[in-house]
Chain A
């Protein structure tokens, strides 16, 4: 009987405790409702800590020409105009207030000479716009929210994982999860649920994401009837570490390029000058000298091509490597050490501006970035797509189910600008929390369906049953996960083709069958093999959604590049690809026309061209 499980009752249940989840929880509890927060790890360890560069907010502290209209236009241009424009508008308008709020909660940003919050340059942002703390802005964000949130009466469930969302008719009314420590199931009843579970990076072999990012939120929402949108748009960050192998994929912040770092191939050539897309030409430096001046704050200079959007830079690197002009370990060189030609005390300057990067290379690769170039290559970093939500309220098509942060789709369109993620978390985390609290107050608690709970719990324990039956012979979860990652990396990666993706779909089918047979040994207490077995289903669902959406979009745009359709297509540029679960369990793919921009926003885009 489901009544045997420990049950918690909340008005709002937030799943995920990175920046978006914490911000949602804080907002909901400030609205006076009872809030539960589920973290897959310990509190304060989520992937948000890895964000280095900063959070974009048009405060205009460094360049007073900046305002929400420029930020909005930059975000739309970066997203290649398939963004949810309402989200892009709200984000640009509300980010400054959210950043100031963090300061009021204790965040300590770097300062300008006149004592305001300092802002730095970043790819795709016209003016210096990223509020930052050295290169550990994500840590500052999460710690500030954590330290504020622990005094708000939020109930925190650390090291818990949700296995299914519980429904009452159409509506989501809670979740079933387990704690890692003991492996016990728990029921979380809730008037509204906010999904803030982050990304899907573990579907790929080379990724900057940790073990947690297995597409849980997207997959759980999908199973509960929610629509996923833009899943073909995966961001491959151009600069991940590639050597030594054990750190492959680990992020090297874009701030390295923002501070003057340049990309070179093995011949020492700055290849980024070779291919500058037309729509970015007016804003890009014509020679290295101008690019350098830009990084040093010259307002009349234009940005170096290294700071073009991430999708473009990643493809240029891919091109150099494929053409045989790569570095010894299959990447290219990122060089910040060269600035010693320009600055006295360059080594000190680099250490002060990029302390974690200095530390990271020194300790993990035995390399001093103030003296030598780094070797880097693209790494799976972020998914622009996710749960389809209403731009104002962040509610999905399933009543009571909200989403925010990376788990939600819309703000970033086909490609996310660096720095727009941390601001996304606080702007839409707040909105999701606010509207979830409102929904919960208006609708009250729902009814938990015990049969659904029993069925989900039974299925979650199947890997143990198989382990007990099979003895030592059955396959464990790690090999299946590994094979999926290899396959997604090679067949649905940076450069895609119809035939390869068809093979990937086939492969996903076979891997799903294997996943359904994996066996787990040992006890339920803190058993990583079991957790991996449960995460597999989520990984497979998002992999299928990515692949089917990528097949559907027969053009190249943003993070989605098709070798067989290398150009943009005007008709495809007017739609989003949306998937949802058919009643027979298969995946339905459809095109959804993007609503017209209101005249006012259209004009903003025109003005900023």
Chain B
């Protein structure tokens, strides 16, 4: 049993301040456990989001000692406890209260990306055939738990506030999953280049570093999309041919 001080952001869109809470921490605890303990004993009204406690729902995103992480997957024994642990909401989104932020922008962005549009079923039983090797790559992207930590860390959103011009790494991953889906026939490259601002990304790879699902966001999703956008720009017919060719 150790005693730890948590320095937690208490406030809302109008402002706020850090408040210190000191509590005992036992073996195996994660940051979210400590928050719950403080909530149950010292601050009933401390607002935070969580659901699964297992790194699967992406609700408990926050900045722990300044680094965007999931609270439920950050074990206390990985943090220095001789000084206060600072805990604050994601800073790339407006604060609602305490550790919660208004992430609705993300949901709006997603609706603007053209939906999955499969080719006609071509197997005799009215479905499709796909090989595991062809779906592996897409499955990596589909692991995303929508924690928005990558959005939080990306300087284009966080520092330059380009929310109206850039969809951010999460939705580049989402677009990549659609574009590389073996059955998909839609073309999302013109928007990607224009309204969705893929050009803003200068491949700093910060997003990849914070992704709790270890999705190789930059190398596997963003760079291939950038290449496609470039190909498309210089060689639209060649691209069209690639897109229409059966992928299986």
Contacts and interface: CB of A to CB of B under 8 A. Distances in A.
Interface of A: 41-47, 49-50, 100, 103-106, 108-111, 114-116, 118, 133-134, 136, 139-140, 143, 147-148, 150-151, 156, 158, 181, 210-212, 243-247, 250-251, 356, 359-360, 363-366, 476, 478, 520-523, 525-530
Contacts of A50: 52, 54, 56-57
B206 interface: no
Contact of A150 (B55, B110, B139): B110
Interface string B145-176: 11000000000000000000000000000000
Contact of A246 (B30, B57, B132, B248): B30
Contacts of B115: 106, 147-148, 151
B108 to A, nearest CB: 10
B49 A111 contact: no
Contact of A140 (B46, B55, B142): B142
A269 B64 CA distance: 44
Interface in B84-128: 96-98, 100, 103-104, 107, 110-111, 115-116, 118, 121, 126-128
B116 A106 contact: yes
Given A110-B132, A111-B135, A359 B45 contact: no
B40 interface: yes
B207 interface: no
B142 A43 contact: no
A325 B145 CA distance: 39
Question: Nearest 4 A-B pairs (CB), nearest first?
Answer: A244-B28, A115-B129, A529-B44, A522-B45
B45 A527 contact: yes
A136 B116 contact: no
A111 B28 contact: no
Contacts of A525: 12, 47, 96-97
B1 interface: no
A41 B51 contact: yes
B44 A245 contact: no
Contacts of B46: 528
Interface residues of B, number: 59
A521 B248 CA distance: 60
Nearest to A248: B28
B83 interface: no
Nearest to B132: A111
B45 A115 contact: no
Contacts of B184: 106
B39 interface: yes
Nearest to B44: A529
A147 B40 CA distance: 36
Interface of A is mostly: loop
A360 B39 CA distance: 25
Nearest to A519: B44
Interface in B163-202: 178, 181, 184
Contact of A103 (B27, B53, B127): B127
Contacts of B57: 41, 44-45, 49-50, 210
A21 to B, nearest CB: 15
A364 B51 contact: no
B181 A108 contact: yes
B116 A147 contact: yes
Contact of A139 (B33, B56, B103, B126): B56
A51 to B, nearest CB: 10
A108 B143 CA distance: 11
Given A148-B115, A522-B44, A210 B28 contact: no
Contacts of A526: 47, 96-98, 100
A243 B51 CA distance: 19
Contact of A364 (B75, B96, B97, B146): B75
Given A103-B127, A521-B45, A529-B44, 16 more contacts: A47-B51, A104-B121, A108-B135, A111-B131, A133-B142, A140-B142, A158-B104, A158-B107, A211-B50, A212-B51, A246-B29, A247-B53, A250-B54, A251-B54, A528-B44, A530-B45
Nearest to B76: A246
A50 B56 CA distance: 7
28 contacts: A41-B57, A45-B52, A50-B57, A100-B127, A106-B118, A106-B184, A108-B142, A108-B181, A110-B135, A114-B129, A115-B248, A116-B127, A148-B116, A150-B110, A151-B111, A158-B104, A210-B52, A243-B28, A246-B28, A359-B55, A364-B73, A520-B44, A521-B44, A521-B45, A526-B96, A526-B100, A527-B45, A528-B48
Contacts of B145: 49, 139
A363 B52 contact: no
